[in-house]
Amino acid sequence: NLEPSVDAYSPDNLLIFGVGPLVGIFPGAARLNVTAKSPLTVLGDSNAGGEWSPELRKAGIDYIVICGRSDEPVYLRIYDEDVQIKNARHLWGLETWESEQILKEDNDPKAKVASIGPAGENLVRFASIKFGHRTAGRCGLGAVMGSKLLKAIVVRGTSRLQPANPEAFIEATKQALQRFESSGLKSGLGGPIGGTYGRLWFRHNNASMMFTKHMRTGFWEEAAKLDPAIFFGRYKIKRIGCWGCPIRCTCYYEIGEGKYRGSFTKIEYGEIAPLSAGVGISDLDAALKLVQMADRFGMDTKSLGCVVGFAIELYEEGIINEQDIGFPLHWGDEENISKLIETIAFRQGFGSVLAEGEHRAAKIIGRGAEKYDLTVKYMEPHEPLRAQVGNALAQYLSTRGPDHLRGACHAERDLSPSEAKKFFGHESIADPLSYENKALAVVFFEHIAALADMLGLCKFFTQWGSMYRLDVKMMANLLTTARGIEYKDAELLMAAERVINTERAFIVKAGIRRCHDYPPRREFEEPFPNGPFKGVKLDRKKYDQMLDEYYKLRGWDPSSGVPNNSKLLELSLDDIAASLASCLQVSQQGREAEDTNPD
Ligand code: SF4
C-alpha cells in the first residue's frame, strides 16, 4: 500500500514492526522486521532480535503500523490490550539507554523498550532503533521514527503463547535442536572465544573481508592488536542472548579500568570492524568507545564506520580540509573521530553533511568527492568482497543495498568442493574466486534468508548459517505444527520468491535498475594491495555474466533487472505485474541508465 515515491519523512510513510509466527514459541525465535520507505536507500527493512518481539506477541500483536506524524514527542505504551499514546517531551534528547531506563521505571521493569536516540531525532539518515541490547541498524529507520516524533514503543505482554499442535511442535523443535547440535552450533557460537567478534575477526581478515580504511583493502595489518582473546581477557564478559536462545551468541562487557572505565555494552563483529579497521583505530578501548557512542546516540555502526572513513579519506586526499570540518582528521585519531561522530549525531557543522549518508554527502561536497562514494543503492557497504565473488553478487544485488543479511553466499567460504557438489551440484560454488554457478547459490540463500525473516527465526539457525542446519522442510514442519495449517516446502519457497519479487518491484518503481546492482568502483578498479588475496579485484565482464545468469534464474528482464510480467503472474502478484508494466517498457536502456536521484 506504500507508494515508493513517498518521502521517507512524510507523514504518509508507514513504519511497520512485524513479528513472525514462530516468535515466542520456538527457542530463540525472537526476530522482528522493521520496514518503511528508507531515508537512506529505497526499501528500508531492518531485522533485530532481543526480547521485544516475543513480548509483543504475548500482548496479542503481530504487526504495528505507524502512520501519520505526532505534533509533539510521544511514545507508544502497549500493555496487553491497553494501547496508549503518551507524552515523551521529557525523553526527547536523551540517549537510547537513558530513555529505556526511564521508561521501564515509569511503566514496568519487565516491559521491553524500542527506542531511538538523538540521531533518530535529528534525522541522521542512518539512525538505528534500539531494542534493549539489540539493534535494527540498517536503512535509517530510526530517522523515520524520529520524523514521526515517536521516541519509543514500550511493550508488556502477559499471555502465554502456545503452538496449535503442542506435541507435534515439541517433536519438531527437538529435531531442530538436534540439528543445531550436530551442525556444531553451540553455546556462544562455539570456538574457544565465541560470539561473532571471537568467531569472525581473524576469519574475515584472512579472507580479506575486513572493512579496512574505507575499504581500500580487506586485510588489516593491525588486526592482532584487537585480537578477541585480548578483549576476553581484559573485560568482564557476560554472555547474553535473544529470548529463549540456547546459543546466546552475544558478549556484554564492562570496561573496568583506564580512561573508558565504566562503559559497557554488547559487541558484535559487524560493530567493531567498521569502527576500528574501518577508521584505522587499533586501540581496543577506543574502538569499543566508538561502538558505544553509536549505540547511545542510535546510529548504524556499519554506515557510520563507512561515512567516517569516507571523511578521513577525503581529508587525506585534500578534498576537504580543517576549515570544512573544524579540526584535522586522520586515520586512527580517536579524539577527533569521536568528536566527528558526535557532530554527526547532533547534526552540527560538517557532521550534518555526513549525517546525510555517503552518497548525498559526496554530492553536497563535490570537488571530486563522488569518486570515493562507495554506496550501492545509496547505502554504505560493510565488507570488501573482491575475493568473495558469490558474496559480492549477493550483497550488491540485495534489495536494501549492500548487506549480508538479505543475500549471502556462505557456501563459497564454508563448503568443500565435494560438499558444494552434494548441495548445489557444482564444485565451483566452494571456490570464492570462481564466478561459475554463483547465481544459483545466491538465489538459494536469498530464499532461506527471506524465510528466516518471515518466520522470525535467527538466520544462524538456518541453512543461511550452515548447510547442515534448518532446511526448508524443517521450517515447513515447524510452521505447520505451530499454526495447525499444513505448509509444504514448495509453498514456503514460493512465498520467499514472492518476497524477493515484491521488494524488487518496490525499488524498481523508485527507479532502481540493473546499473544499481553493481559493486562500487573500488571493487573493480583497485586490486587488494596486501594480504593473502593481494592483487585480486572483481572482473567486470565476469560479474556482468553472473548478473545475467541471476536475472535469468529469477525471471527478470536481463537489460534492466525489472521482473518480467510472466514471472509476477506465476507468483500471483497480479497487481504488481500491472503496476510494473510501464517500467518494463521504458527500461530497455537499463544497463546504461544514469544514476537516479535517491530523493
Ligand atoms: S544465535 Fe545470537 S542472534 Fe541468534 S537468536 Fe541466539 S542470541 Fe540471538
Q: Which domains occur in the chain, in start order?
A: 15-156 (3.60.9.10), 193-372 (1.10.569.10), 389-456+488-592 (1.10.599.10)
CA distance 44 to 378: 11
Give the CA angle between residues 286, 292, 294 to the nearest 5°. Answer: 110
> Which H helix or E strand runs over 499?
helix 489-509
Collapsed DSSP state (helix, strand, coil) of residue 45: strand
Does residue 49 have its Cβ closer than 6 Å to ligand 1?
yes
CA 402 / ligand 1 centre spacing (Å): 22
Does residue 153 have its Cβ closer than 6 Å to ligand 1?
no
CA 273 / ligand 1 centre spacing (Å): 19
Does residue 50 have its Cβ closer than 6 Å to ligand 1?
no
Does residue 23 have its Cβ closer than 6 Å to ligand 1?
no
Task: Specify whether the CB–CB gap between 399 and 503 falls below 8 A.
Answer: yes
**In testing the pocket of ligand 1, which one of 238, 458, 466, 470 has its CB within 8 Å of the most ligand atoms?**
458
CA 244 / ligand 1 centre spacing (Å): 9
Instruction: Tell me the mean pLDDT in the region 18-41.
Output: 96
Residue nearest to atom 8 of ligand 1 (CA): 242
Confidence of residue 246 (pLDDT cuts 50, 70, 90): confident
Q: What pLDDT does 90 receive?
A: 97
CA 228 / ligand 1 centre spacing (Å): 19
> Which H helix or E strand runs over 552?
helix 540-554
SS3 annotation, 75-143 = EEEEECCEEEEEECCCCCCCCHHHHHHHHHHHCCCCCEEEECCHHHHCCCCCECEEECCEEECHHHHHH
Q: Whole-angstrom distance between the N-terminal and C-terminal Cα of the chain?
A: 19
- Strand 74-79 to 150-156 pairing: parallel
Strand boundaries in 320-363, DSSP class E: none
For 423-456, b/e burial (b = at least 16 CB within 10 A) is bbebbbbbbbebbbbbbbbbbbbbbbbbbbbbbb
Name the percent of the chain lying above pLDDT 90.
83
Enter the ipTM: 0.99
Task: Specify whether the CB–CB gap between 142 and 294 falls below 8 A.
Answer: no
Confidence of residue 597 (pLDDT cuts 50, 70, 90): low
Does residue 28 have its Cβ closer than 6 Å to ligand 1?
yes
Does residue 299 have its Cβ closer than 6 Å to ligand 1?
no
Helices (H), 357-465: 358-365, 389-397, 411-414, 417-424, 438-455
**In testing the pocket of ligand 1, which one of 460, 469, 470 has its CB within 8 Å of the most ligand atoms?**
460
Give the residue from 351, 403, 340 showing the smallest Cα distance to 375. Answer: 403
Instruction: Tell me the mean pLDDT in the region 251-280.
Output: 80
Q: CA gyration radius for the chain?
A: 23
Q: 197-226, pLDDT tens digit by residue? A: 988 999 999 999 999 999 999 999 999 999
CA distance 170 to 522: 50
- Residue 425, amino acid: G
CA 21 / ligand 1 centre spacing (Å): 17
Task: Specify whether the CB–CB gap between 469 and 477 falls below 8 A.
Answer: no
Q: 575-595, pLDDT tens digit by residue? A: 999 988 877 665 544 444 445
CA distance 311 to 123: 19
Residue nearest to atom 4 of ligand 1 (CA): 458
Q: 441-499, pLDDT tens digit by residue? A: 999 999 999 999 999 999 999 999 999 999 999 999 999 999 999 999 999 999 999 99
CA distance 221 to 114: 38
Q: 15 has which bridge partners?
A: 66
Instruction: Tell me the mean pLDDT in the region 426-445.
Output: 97
Does residue 460 have its Cβ closer than 6 Å to ligand 1?
yes
Confidence of residue 243 (pLDDT cuts 50, 70, 90): very high
Collapsed DSSP state (helix, strand, coil) of residue 31: coil
Q: Name, in order, each residue with C-beta under 8 angstroms of 111's C-beta and a sequence gap of 6 or more.
A: 55, 79, 103, 104, 154, 155, 156
Q: Which atom of ligand 1 is nearest to the CA of 30?
A: 5
Sheet containing 250-254: which strands, arranged edge to edge?
Answer: 236-240, 250-254, 264-267
